[in-house]
A and B are shown apart, each in its own frame.
Chain A
Amino acid sequence: MGNLFNNYEEACAIILFGIGFTTLLLHRNMIKKIIGFSMMDSAIYLFLAAKGYIAGRKAPIVVSVSVTALMLALTVRLYRRYHTLDIDEITMQARREEA
C-alpha cells in the first residue's frame, strides 16, 4: 500500500478524476457530460497543486472556464439544430440525414 495514506490529497484527486470520467461516459445527456469534463479539470489542478511546484499557476482555472464556455456554446447550437440533448438521438439523426 506504500504511501497511499500519506498522499491522501493526490489519492482524492485521482478518485475525483475517475468519478468525472465515469460521468462523462455514462450519461447520455450533454450537460452531464460537460459537468464531468469540468470535474476532471478540477481534479488535475488539485493533483498538481498537491505535488506543489514553484512555478505556481493561477492561469489554468481561467483556461478551464474557456473550455467549458466553448463546449456549452456547441451544445446550444446542437440543441437548436436537433431539438434534443441526447447524444444517441443526435448521432442517429445525423446519420439518417446524411444517408
Chain B
Amino acid sequence: MAKQRNDYENSWFPRLQRWIAQGGTRLSDQMTEELSEASDAHRVLSAEDVARREVEQAVHQLEIQEHEAALYERAHQWGRTKGAKLIRAFYAVLAVLMCVSVIAVLLTTVSNLPSFGGENNPINNEVSQRYIEKGLQETGAVNIVAGMILDYRAFDTLGESHVLFIAACAVMILLRLSDSGDPRQLSRERMEAEANDRLYEPKNDIILQRVAGILVPIIMLFGVYVLFNGHLGPGGGFSGGAVIGAGLILYLNAYGFAATERFFTIKTFRAVSFIALAFYALAKSYSFFCGANHLNSGIGLGTPGDIFSSGLILYLNIAVGMVVACTMYAFYTLFRKGDM
C-alpha cells in the first residue's frame, strides 16, 4: 500500500495517530499477539479424535466467541479516548452538512424538471411513439418491455447476464473453501463451518418442513409460469429467475444440504449457467459486429398471444432465467456453507 520508509514511526501521520490513540500502541501489540495465539490454538485441535470433534467444536465455538467479545471490548476502549471522540464528532458534523448541501443542490434541479406525467414532456417524443406503435408487429411480443430488452436491445441484456455470472464467480473466489491444499486443514475448516451452521438452527424443524412442502411446488410453478409468459404479460427472465431462485433457497432451508445435493450440486450449477449463457451469447453476439443493432432471426413471428410466438424471445427468457436462478442459489449456499 504505502511506500516503505525507515523512519515511518516519526513522520507526521503516525504521530497524529499516537496523539489520537494516546497510548494505543501497546493495545495493538497485545492484540496481534493474542490473535496469533488464538490461531495456534486452532492448529493444535486438528490432531484430536474425529468422533469427539463435534462436541469439542461446539465448546470451541463458544470459546472463540467469548475471545472475540473480549477483543472487541478492548478494541472499543481505544475509541473512548478524547482525541478520537473529538475527531469523530467533527467528522459527523461535516458529513451531515455535506449531505444536506448535496440534497439541496439536487432538489433545486428537481424543481426545474418538467412536470410529472405531462404530455408535452421531451421524453414523449416521436422515438417512443414509433416503438410503441410498431413494437407488436416487429417483435411479435405483446409485452412491449420484453420486446424492448430482448429484441431491440438484446445486446444490453447480454451484458447484464454476464454481470450476474461474474458476480457469482467472484463470490465463489472469496468464500469457497478450496479443494486444493492441506486435507486436514480443509476438513477442519469445513467441520467448523458446518458446526457453526448447526449451532444456531435446529435440524428437522417440523413447522418449516410441512409449510415448505406445500409452498415450494407452488413457488416453482409460479416461477416457471412467470418465466414462460414473459412475452405475453408482466414477467420475463429476471423476475421468473428470481422467483425460482427464492424457491430453491426455501427448499434448502427446510430440508438441509443433504436433500438438496441430490439434485443440485456444483456440477449442475456449472453446467446450467454455462449452457444458458453460451446459448444467449451465441444467439446475439453478432451485435458486436453490427454496431449493437439486431438482425432478424430466421424464426417466424407467429400470432401474437400464442406462447410459441415472437421468435427467439421465449428461449432467451429461459436462458436468462436459468442464469438468475442459479446465481441467487449460489449466493445463498456460498454464504451458508462455503461450498456448493
- Whether the complex brings A and B within 8 Å at their CB atoms is answered yes
- Of chain A, the residue at the smallest CB distance from B76 is A86
Q: Contacts of A35 on B, CB cut-off 8 Å?
A: none
Instruction: Write out, one digit per residue, whether chain A residues 51-83 have a CB within 8 A of any chain B CB (1) or not (0).
Output: 111111111011101110110111011000001
Q: Contacts of A67 on B, CB cut-off 8 Å?
A: 167
Query: B286 on the interface (CB 8 Å rule)?
Result: no
Asked if residues A62 and B238 are in contact (CB atoms below 8 Å), the reply is yes
Smallest CB separation, A89 vs chain B (Å): 5
Q: Contacts of A89 on B, CB cut-off 8 Å?
A: 75, 78
Asked if residues B28 and A96 are in contact (CB atoms below 8 Å), the reply is yes
Asked if residues B131 and A54 are in contact (CB atoms below 8 Å), the reply is yes
Assembled-state Cα–Cα distance A96/B102 (Å)? 35
If A59-B160, A84-B72 touch, does A7 touch B8 (CB 8 Å cutoff)?
no
Of the listed stretches B111-119, B211-219, B256-264, B268-276, name the one at the interface; the rest are far from the partner chain: B111-119
Asked if residues B171 and A73 are in contact (CB atoms below 8 Å), the reply is yes
Assembled-state Cα–Cα distance A60/B145 (Å)? 14
Chain B, interface SS category:
helix
Asked if residues B242 and A15 are in contact (CB atoms below 8 Å), the reply is no
Asked if residues A22 and B99 are in contact (CB atoms below 8 Å), the reply is yes
Smallest CB separation, B266 vs chain A (Å): 17
Could you tell me how many residues of chain A have their Cβ less than 8 Å away from some Cβ of chain B?
54
Smallest CB separation, A3 vs chain B (Å): 6
Assembled-state Cα–Cα distance A29/B117 (Å)? 41
Asked if residues B103 and A15 are in contact (CB atoms below 8 Å), the reply is yes
If A55-B148, A83-B71, A84-B72 touch, does A4 touch B331 (CB 8 Å cutoff)?
no
Q: Name 17 interchain pairs, CB-CB below 8 A, sorted by A.
A: A3-B113, A14-B110, A18-B100, A25-B95, A51-B123, A53-B128, A58-B239, A59-B149, A61-B238, A69-B171, A70-B170, A70-B174, A73-B335, A77-B175, A83-B35, A89-B75, A95-B2
Chain B contact residues, CB within 8 Å of chain A: 1-2, 8-9, 14, 17, 28, 31-32, 35, 68, 71-72, 75, 78-79, 92, 95-96, 98-100, 102-103, 106-107, 110-117, 123, 128, 131-132, 144-145, 148-149, 153, 157, 160, 163-164, 167-168, 170-171, 174-175, 236, 238-239, 241-242, 324, 327-328, 331, 334-335
Additional 17 contacts, C-beta under 8 A, given A9-B116, A10-B113, A84-B75 = A7-B111, A7-B115, A11-B107, A11-B110, A18-B102, A22-B96, A51-B123, A54-B132, A55-B148, A62-B160, A67-B167, A73-B171, A92-B28, A94-B1, A95-B2, A96-B32, A98-B1
Chain A contact residues, CB within 8 Å of chain B: 1-4, 6-11, 14-15, 17-18, 21-22, 25-26, 50-59, 61-63, 65-67, 69-70, 72-74, 76-77, 83-84, 86, 88-89, 92-99
